[in-house]
Amino acid sequence: MNPLTLAWRNVARNRRRSLLTGGILAFGFASFTLSAGFMAQSFHGLRDSTIRSGIGHLQFADARTFTQSEDAPLQFGLKDADAIMATIAKDPAVRVVMPRLEFMGLITARARSVPFVGVGVDPLAEKTGTDIPTTISAGRWLDDNGRALVLGTGLARTLNVSVGDGVTLLATTPEGTLNAVDAVVTGLADVHFKELNDRYLAAPLALAQQLLDAPGTVSKISVVLHATGHEAETAQRLTTVLGGNLAVRSWEQLAQFYNQVKMLYIGIFGFMSIVLMVVVFLASVNTTLMTVTERTREIGTLRALGARPRVVLTNFVLEGTVLGLAASAAGALLSLLISAGLNASAIEMPPPPGVTRGIPIHVQFFALAYVSAALAMTLTSVVASYFPARRAARISIVEALTHV
């Protein structure tokens, strides 16, 4: 008789109990995979939104930009930006090159002045490489109009301006003089990160360069690739070609917020997984203990017939294995059904940390989580079977045969 067949029959012998324990294992499996799928989707979404927030896959800048603070605006700016961008754009992995000129100053409308955090951009490149143009809630994104501005809705609210209103921008030039330009608000963007939304300003690169009196200069160059995951080799290739004092950073090195959220999620998920495993383990141990007690006389009989203690141990461990595998299969099915239901439900989740808008729930199919959960549940069931089974294997035959 195949030992697995015997194990399966013994598992099926007490259907109610096996269903209960298998149900706990399947529920554990589904909880694990659903959490992992939701987390993977959250990471995926957060990664994409981080990359498309303007950081890009790669950022090129003067090496000092990444290690020192500027004493004056554009102290570490790239003065020959056009030539660098042209070289970068030739790389086959590159989708779009986005010059960025970061600056700060005051925006004035009517009698009110508010500090802003501005970025001078190439409107078309920004439309391709970031999500910011899609967050326009009023008016339109930057276009050919050289005096156009897009403000964060929070900044516009504070400044009490709307689309079509004229404003004046004031900023300090690299030489330390105060400069001002007039502009028109053509769009309002609902920037996801609230703190940024309250200060955000986007201007055409030429207007920003005019304000800072720094023609042809940018702070950094963001690069969006055709696909995520090719950052390292592309960076290496481009660094070799570009040379000079340029330094490159990947989005993972720059996205501190993403990394913090990721660690937080992993911590929560890890803690929940441990709690889940303990519950599943205790339920499985309880089941095997009950099974061993119920089958004590049978264990005595098998031992009397000449079964070595290891045979008894193996039988119970195999039962744990069979139960773990069957429960994993049921758990996988349950998880897929719940995932499909949740993904179709379009339930809105609360905004993740630092984001102003909620996102529809989506559970990603995460194959590694399914494999890990199957291993974890089966191993838990096996380990939970092992100790009661070892006790069963060592039981006195005479006592077992007279067990009532």
Partner 1 sequence: MTDLPLLSGRALARNYRLGTEMVCALRGVDIDISRGDFMALKGPSGSGKTTLINLLGLLDTPDAGELMLEGMNTQGLSENMRADLRRRHFGFVFQTFNLVPVLSAAENVAYPMTLDRRSDREAAVRARELLAAVGLADKAEQRPDLLSGGQRQRVAIARALANEPEVVFADEPTANLDSKTADMILDLMQTLNRERGVAFVFATHDPRVVERAQRVINLHDGRVEQP
Give the interface with partner 1 as residue ranges (CB under 8 A).
1-2, 6, 9-10, 12-13, 297-298, 300-311, 396-398, 401
Q: Between 309 and 352, whose beta carbon lies closer to partner 1?
A: 309
Q: Considering the complex, what minimum distance in angstroms separates the CB of residue 353 from partner 1?
A: 54
**Residue 149: Cβ-neighbour burial (10 angstroms; 0-12, 13-18, 19+):** buried
Closer Cβ to partner 1, 124 or 311, answer by number: 311
Residue 2 C-beta: closest distance to partner 1, Å? 8
Q: Taking the CA atoms of the chain, what radius of gyration do you get in angstroms?
A: 31
User: Cβ closer to partner 1: 64 or 308?
Assistant: 308
* Closest CB 391 distance from partner 1, rounded Å: 14
Q: How many residues does the chain have?
A: 404
Q: Distance between CA 291 and CA 73 in Å, rounded?
A: 75
Residue 260 or 396 having the CB closest to partner 1: 396
Q: How far is the CB of 9 from partner 1 (least distance, A)?
A: 4
CB of 324 to partner 1, least distance (A): 19
Q: Where does 227-366 have alpha helices with state H?
A: 231-242, 251-254, 256-294, 296-304, 309-345
Q: Minimum CB separation from partner 1 for residue 315, in Å?
A: 11
What is the number of other CB atoms lying within 10 angstroms of the CB of residue 5? 11
Using alpha carbons, list the distances in angstroms from residue 361 to 34, 344, 349. 11, 9, 6
3-state secondary structure of 80: coil
User: Which tokens belong to 294?
Assistant: 């119920």
CA dihedral 223, 226, 232, 235 (to 10 degrees): -40
Task: Rank residues 13 and 64 by Cβ distance to partner 1 and give the closer one.
Answer: 13
Nearer to partner 1, 290 or 336 (CB): 290
Q: Where are the beta strands (DSSP E) in 157-234?
A: 166-172, 178-189, 200-204, 220-225
Return the H-helix or E-strand segment holding 118: strand 112-121
Question: Which two structure tokens, joined as six digits, stand for 336?
Answer: 């897929």
- Whole-number minimum distance, CB 5 to partner 1, in Å? 9
Q: What is the SS3 assignment for 231?
A: helix
Nearer to partner 1, 243 or 306 (CB): 306
Give the angle subtended at the CA of 42 by the CAs of 273 and 131, to the nearest 5°.
Answer: 170
Q: How many CB atoms lie within 10 A of CB 120?
A: 25
Residue closer to partner 1 by CB (options 16, 176) is 16
**Least gap, CB of 377 to partner 1 (angstroms):** 24
